[in-house]
Structure 1
């Protein structure tokens, strides 16, 4: 990637093994124009286990409200186990700053989902 003004990563970084995330972010950063930005939307985890449980419960309630059965919810959870590895918000922010983004800000937050804009 080169000469990019905007890059979007929507619920994808969480599927990249943590060992490789910094390398991916550095490749994106180097391919962005000056003043270019990354829009990153990710599922998060919290250090507070009570919040984690609460957010997950709200998310499952949301799925039920949209017609998902208990079996479908359980199958999706099992399919993503050890594949989707979310970071805490602070870890994502730190990663973006470490690779060189000078401005990093949250633009959206709903329970354990977050949107971050990072400017080169």
Structure 2
């Protein structure tokens, strides 16, 4: 029989009935920045906003397809301080702040399971 794993439950949200974050909280605001300025009503601003939204949508879709393609593959991560590690990519959290990896090969040894913080990464690469 497999060993049961405990489930981590999120705390109740600010309204008491939901799970999540207050949309006015500093954390929520920091994680959901927008570079799209409010439209002033002119056609050129509206056209620029629509074009920027389309481009951002395309980039987001490419990145998400990249994450799907990485699943289960050996990925090389370049970190700060000239550290390079490799691991088998597992998943990303919804905010893409952390990557879950297996068999992380570091200069100090191999870690069976690990979470890599995305803010510690410069780049990552993998073979298709």
Q: TM-score interval w.r.t. the shorter chain?
A: under 0.3
Q: Given the two structures, how large is their TM-score scaled by the length of structure 2?
A: 0.25
Q: Normalized against structure 1, the TM-score is what?
A: 0.26
Q: Which has the higher contact order (CA 8 A, sep 6+)?
A: 1
Larger Rg computed on CA atoms? 2
